[in-house]
Amino acid sequence: MNGEIEIAIVGSGPAGCTLAALLAQRGIRTVVFDDDRRPELLVGESLLPRVVNLMRRLGIEDRVSAFSQYKPGVGFIARDGSRLDFFFPQKAIKGMPNYAYNIPRPEYDKLLRTRAEELGVFFVKGRAELEKGTEGREIQLTAACLASVPELKGVHPKLLVDSTGRARTFAKVIGVGSQRGKRNDVAYFAHFEGFDVEAMREGQVVITTLSRGWSWRIPLPGRLSVGVVVDKSAAKEHGETPEERLESIIDNEAFLKNAGKGRRRVTPVMTYTNYQLISDRGHGPGWVAAGDAFGFVDPMLSPGLFMAMHSADLIDHHVFSGGTTALLSQPARLAKAFDRVFDELLDWHEAWSELIEYFYDGRMYALHAAGEQLSQRYGESALPRLMERHLTKQITRLLSGVSTRSRYGRNLLRFSLKHLVWDVDPAENFEIKA
């Protein structure tokens, strides 16, 4: 790659490295600031089929599959023991892959960086020093920071990308507000050996409704990621430390206690809070946010890593698809291109939040119970049963990320939840309680 560096990415998580790699494939030079500080475990270990397409574009799927667990779908266990099992279909979904992976995140994140380096991306070890901008920029690198990167040759990049994740570094420097979700959850998770996933098929992720909150079990090679998500007030009832709280919740929940009676924890316990947030805006003069730096959604259906990488894909597509950085010198056109990026991202967030809420408030479980009644009441080839199969197909596409924003699928699900649920326990009986 030739030419000056016009783009600097702050943060080398999945969004930052994906964007850097995509731009490098177009011959566009970037520099990435990376402080090389990473926790041992990260939330976001289960992927969606749509992510596989991005892996293929980056040329890394074979390497990902070598250290990951093949994922055929996801199962949900309600408090009464009833199950909803969704498996990706045997054939590709609307041209998209019909499978995904469960990944050890440190290895995956390292691979994304390695691939970016292979494509010619330059990484600066250290934090970017930032300040409020001048000369038409809303935020900028400090003079000392600019001088510390010889590759920039003293020329400030035309575009800064915030890929600092939940730290939202740019937003804090320039005062961009945010809208937070209504839940006050905290998650504790660790990796275990000897813990039963209770999957119907190898690699299936299992989500379980607890007496309060919910849990995940994600199969990884040789171990199981086990997490619990509870309201902060409920967490305090289970001890003082993250280790005490995770172990206590497992031992006090029948599903988890039985599955984990022979467990051995092989990693520290990690804590995550604040599971829903969207910034008031995602771009301004001279900057744009990618991934969690703009917003993140509840992790129940595993949308996080997809949304991070897809945000990078959208920025690449709407701004750099011509293979040039011409828009960076045209502020009005650049702002319109970024508006298209974030209009689409906001629609993604809305679609995921709506779908996830159906599991939290119990309506998805009630709909499943109604479908089971149809199966028992009518034959396999009867019209109601065929309708139920079609609805299941649409829900699977919504959950997979393939058609999550589909107006048809979302409207069909809304209609079904409103009009096709009868003679079953009320949704409140299945809701995830705080």
What integer pLDDT is reported at residue 170 of this predicted model? 98
Of the candidates 299, 269, 274, 275, the one whose C-alpha atom is nearest the C-alpha of residue 207 is 299
Q: How far is CA 410 from CA 303, 389, 403, 417, in A?
A: 17, 16, 9, 11
What integer pLDDT is reported at residue 94 of this predicted model? 72
Tell me the domain boundaries of the chain.
7-68+103-178+277-352, 185-273, 361-429
Domain 185-273, CATH number (from 3.30.9.100, 3.40.50.300, 3.40.190.80, 3.90.1660.10)? 3.30.9.100
Give me the CATH topology for the region 7-68+103-178+277-352.
Answer: FAD/NAD(P)-binding domain (3.50.50)
Backbone phi and psi for residue 164, each to the nearest 5 degrees, phi listed first: -90, 10
pTM, entire model: 0.95
Q: How far is CA 396 from CA 39, 87, 310, 351, in A?
A: 32, 7, 20, 14
Of the candidates 209, 219, 180, the one whose C-alpha atom is nearest the C-alpha of residue 364 is 209
Of the candidates 337, 345, 358, the one whose C-alpha atom is nearest the C-alpha of residue 307 is 345
Q: Which residues pair with 31 in a beta bridge?
A: 8, 122
User: Rg of the Cα trace of the chain?
Assistant: 23
What integer pLDDT is reported at residue 92 of this predicted model? 75
- Alpha carbon 80 to chain centroid, angstroms: 28
DSSP percent split of the chain into helix, strand, coil, nearest 5? 45, 20, 35
- Ranges of residues in the chain with a pLDDT under 70 are 1-3, 93, 375, 378-385
Q: Are 203 and 174 in contact (CB under 8 A)?
A: no
The residue with tokens 């900057």 is: 287
Of the candidates 398, 397, 292, the one whose C-alpha atom is nearest the C-alpha of residue 345 is 292
What integer pLDDT is reported at residue 379 of this predicted model? 61
- Residue 329: partners with Cβ closer than 8 Å, 6 or more residues away: 158
Q: Are 188 and 249 in contact (CB under 8 A)?
A: yes
Instruction: Answer yes or no: same fold for 7-68+103-178+277-352 and 185-273.
Output: no
Integer Cα distance of 238 and 269 in angstroms: 14
What integer pLDDT is reported at residue 334 of this predicted model? 97
